[in-house]
Amino acid sequence: MRHFIFAQIFFMHPDLFNQLARSRRSVFPDQFEAGKKIDEAIIREILVNACWAPTHGKTEPWQFTVFSGEGLKKLAAFQSTLYKEKAGKRFREITYGKLQQNPLRASHIIAIGMKRHPATNIPEIEEIGAVACAVQNIYLSVTAYGLGGYWTTGGITYMEEAKSFFGLEEQDKLLGFFYIGHIAIPSTGASRSALEEKVKWINE
């Protein structure tokens, strides 16, 4: 019923959704209000919205691991240690420091996984696309709640050795992390190129 009412509101007032979509911004950890936690019930609602993303074959390929409280320290320790072990010549002290410190600035961090279904013949790219749609639902939900968040694919995201920590197997993918927190410093200055630069109209 809640989802029906939510949809009806936007059917009647599409300008509300236009405003929501166009006011979405990435808000980074150093813009969060340190130490201020978000009610877990809100995080659950955000994740429910994520799970209503479109999914070919109803495979629902997303898998989320949510870190908060002491769990943020566990994530910080794991990712900074793995990065230091595997980065080799690409190691950067500044990246190592951010992997240690940034998780502690967030209220919650959602690790974003894509789980493959062995019996399906759905192309992998379509499953990745479904997870990306789920992340967009997270972005819009965070915006609607007046919170800040951003999706990062840095650090250990594409390291095969990271997968098992998040319950992912060889055929699965880790697609990054979504940081969520209360906004202390709003993002400003966002813009998009003219529609005409990105869209072709074929009418006949």
pLDDT along the chain (204 residues), means of 10: 54 84 95 96 97 96 98 98 95 96 98 91 96 98 96 96 97 98 93 94 94
Name the phi and psi angles at 91, rounded to 5: -60, 135
Return d(Cα 151, Cα 179) in angstroms, integer.
Answer: 7
The predicted structure's pLDDT at residue 157: 97
Long-range contacts of residues 20-24, Cβ cutoff 8 Å, at least 24 apart: 20/140, 20/143, 20/144, 21/140, 23/143, 24/139, 24/140, 24/143
The predicted structure's pLDDT at residue 1: 45
Tell me the CA end-to-end span of the chain in Å, nearest whole number: 42
Domains in the chain and their CATH numbers?
30-186 (3.40.109.10)
Q: What is the pTM of this model?
A: 0.92
Angle at 121 between CA 115 and CA 127, to 5 degrees: 40
Q: Kindly state the DSSP code that residue 87 receives in the 8-state scheme.
A: -
Enumerate residues 6+ apart whose C-beta is below 8 A from 29. 102, 103, 105, 106, 179, 181
The predicted structure's pLDDT at residue 7: 56
Q: Kindly state the DSSP code that residue 89 receives in the 8-state scheme.
A: G
The predicted structure's pLDDT at residue 117: 85
The predicted structure's pLDDT at residue 123: 94
The predicted structure's pLDDT at residue 189: 83
Other beta carbons less than 10 A from residue 55's beta carbon:
19
